[in-house]
Structure 1
Amino acid sequence: MTDEVSKFFFNLTPDRVLDAVEASGVRATGRVMALNSMENRVYQVEIESDGEPESRFANFRVAKFYRPGRWSVEEILEEHEFISELAGGDIPVVAPLKFPDGSTLKKLKEYEIWYALFPRVGGRIRDEYSESELERLGRLIARLHLIGASKRFKKRWKIESSEYGRRHLEYLLSSKALPDSVAGHYQRVVEQICTVSEPWFKGVPLLRVHGDLHLGNILWDNELCRLVDFDDTMTAPAVQDIWLICPGRDAEAVKSREIIISAYESFREFNRETLRLIEPLRAFRIVRFSAWIHRRWQDPAFPRVFEEFGTEKYWREQLIALDEIREIMTVVPAGVY
């Protein structure tokens, strides 16, 4: 992303947002509200209606402007196609709307910035789940994976080995993001995690998954459970869409995970040996998160939100978490988790 495009993306104006929405053939009222998103720029836009709206959300559109340089057009379209497949299979997701020419992706006139429009939906994030809600979620994930396994991504990224973790480690080392006081220790810990986990990935089936299915990406509207934000959709083991929902190691998290998996198995087989991948996947997420922040540091929003990033304290806390993962992986027998 060039400096000029970066500046434009960081400072999208309401007029640009309104013009983008009206390219879909609707008329905007002029009311625009920025929504919470670090990676992309997302806005809620009110549109005019000729009659009584069908629902309280019908007069709104959500405009998502993709960060330049993050995804190729082909990768974004694969995301859109997967979401549309899921919607066609009665999976409650939020599919992108089509523009008059039938496409789901448009480019701004001035710069190589691509955007899509989505309907606004209702729902709330829940921090606690009942057993029946966990069961419902498990069945929903299994149905998502049945569709996910029916085709393959050609362009989206993969977690198919420890190379995924090594790639982000290499970025942190080559970019000098790590201070000298922790770089050596950090590298040794992550490399050991990668080495130990490498054989665990061999032979594990891969499929299209949500990729970032934590509680913040699950909306509940009364009894309806809806999955949102497929920005990180990828090819990965099925367990990737399960561990983030209950990421803890305590008895309650293990119990919740078991409820989800048992319900999942009523629709699709789940290999419980792959539960041992949770710890390396946790480590890869930690390393990738730091690499992501460092790559985005020129975005004014990032220093404001991640005030401690790059400090000795930050990296020490990262090392404590990674050391704990390494210890668990090297002490707990393979296949037991």
Structure 2
Amino acid sequence: MKKQDRHSFYRLGPEQILQAVESVGFECDGQLLALNSYENRVYLVGAGRESIVVKFYRPNRWSDSEILEEHLFTEELAEFDIPAVPPLSIKGSTLFHHDGHRFAFYPLKAGRAPDLESREQLEQLGRYIGRIHAVGAVRDFEHRPTLDVGTFGDDSYEFLIENGFIPKELEAAYEKVAEDLLHAVEARFESINPQLIRLHGDGHQGNILWDVSGDGAGSPYIIDFDDARMGPAIQDLWMFLSGDRANMSSSLDILLTAYDQFHDFDCRELALIEPLRSLRIMHHAAWLARRWDDPAFKDAFPWFNTQNYWEQHVLSLKEQMAAMQEPPLVWI
């Protein structure tokens, strides 16, 4: 197998995409549409009577074993009638290789973003996430990583400092607030010592497609398990909360009341919401920095790595230090 090369991945074009798809046995009709994805390259491809989605994996991010473990998890969920979207299995395989690229196929699913102000939709989300976690708690991942302070926080901090992304005049302020925040987050995790289970890992509105093609309120497709990993259950819930404290408390009550029908929720994990938000902020900045040699990122995120961006980043970390001092949300 030809070694994966990030520059070949950056230059991935229609000819290479269609050749890869046809190497598996599909007959392409020439229709090709790039879908909204930056970490990987995802395309809608016409293949005869129906269209399929092909996902090309970014080189050197996941091993084949880690990718296949994600595939197996979504297949396991689908066996329990949970609306995750597993990859297509073709002649017993879900991961394919061509000309140094790794890719998988998915059925096309249509839907729109969920309405997080809808009680009925929040209840459905809570039930399905509870069911995902009930399955996820049965066994651990063997190959995929864990969401922890080291990989999301410490590694992100060190990458930005060591690779010169933080402007010199902001280095002292960034180092002080980042180190203080990481110590506080680490202490919070140690005090709670949450149970770690298999997660979606990136539970937010953009990874839910709400199918409203039938009668009633419809139902969700839960997509993109690319960040699946071990972690605390609250990771798949907290990003569905927004607004002021009263609004978040109301949404939390709806989600967890539905969730708890299928999987017990440890209320101590509510104290991890702000620590997890802090880690996500730090990890996102480092994620952009790590991908900054990818032309697609420069086109999509032109505001990154500017003086204003880093000033706002330092301010966000200071705001998180303050948020860490507030009492956590409560579910009664």
Q: TM-score, normalised by structure 2?
A: 0.92
Asked if structure 1 preserves the Cα contact closer than 8 Å seen for 2:194 and 2:269, the reply is: yes
Give the match's secondary structure for 1:239. helix
CA 1:247–1:176 in structure 2 vs 1: closer, same or farther (change >3 Å)?
farther
Match of 1:35 in 2: 35
The question of whether the paired residues in 2 share the 8 Å contact of 1:274 and 1:335 is answered with no
- Of residues 195, 211, 216 in structure 1, which corresponds to 2:206? 216
Q: Secondary structure at the match of 2:233?
A: coil
Q: What whole-Å deviation, never above 9, does each CA across 1:125-145 have from its counterpart, x for those lacking one?
A: 134431121111111100000
Deviation by residue 1:82-107 (Cα, 9 ceiling, x = unmatched): 1111111111011101122x111011
- 1:271-323 per-position Cα deviation (integer Å, ceiling 9, x unaligned): 12211111111111111111111111111111122112111110111112111
- Note the C-alpha offset of 1:39: 0.8
Larger displacement relative to structure 2 (145-154 or 180-189): 180-189
In structure 2, list runs of 5 or more residues that go unmatched. 213-217
* Contact 1:193–1:326 (Cα < 8 Å) also in 2: yes
- Matched with 2:60 is 69
Equivalence map 1:268-307=2 (5 Å): 268-307=263-302
Could you tell me how far apart the structure 1 residues matched to 2:104 and 2:4 are? 22
How far off its partner does 1:32 sit? 1.0
By how many angstroms is 1:332 displaced?
2.5
Distance 1:65 1:106 in 2: 9
1: CA distance between counterparts of 2:114 and 2:127? 18
Instruction: Tell me the residue number matched to 1:52.
Output: none
Shift, 1:182, TM fit = 1.5
Comparing 210-219 with 123-132, greater Cα deviation is found at 123-132
SS in structure 1 of the partner of residue 224 of structure 2: coil
Indicate whether 1:88 and 2:79 are aligned: yes
Please state how far the C-alpha of 1:22 moved relative to its aligned partner.
2.2
Cα distance in 2 for partners of 1:194, 1:317 equals 18
- Higher RCO (CA 8 Å, separation ≥ 6 residues): 2
Report the alpha carbon displacement of residue 251 of structure 1 after superposing the two structures with TM: 1.7
> What is aligned with 1:184?
172
What's the secondary structure of 1:97's corresponding residue? coil
AA aligned opposite 1:132? E
Q: 1:38 to 1:227 in 2, by over 3 A?
A: same
CA distance in 2, matches of 1:253, 1:210: 21
Cα separation, 1, equivalents of 2:176 and 2:270: 24
Pair 302,160 (structure 1): closer, same or farther in 2 beyond 3 Å: closer
Q: Does the Cα contact within 8 Å between 1:160 and 1:206 map onto a contact in 2?
A: no
Contact 1:248 1:254 in 2 (8 A): no
Which structure 2 residues correspond to residues 106-185 of structure 1 after superposition, within 5 A?
A: 106-108=96-98, 110-111=99-100, 113-161=101-149, 164-185=152-173
The one-letter code of the counterpart of 1:273 is R
Q: Choose the corresponding residue for 1:332, options 312, 322, 326.
A: 326
Following superposition, the deviation at residue 325 of structure 1 comes to 1.0
Whether the 8 Å contact between 2:249 and 2:330 is mirrored in structure 1 is no
Which structure 1 segments of 5+ residues have no match? Answer: 50-58
Name the residue aligned to 1:259. Answer: 254
TM-score with structure 1 length normalisation?
A: 0.90
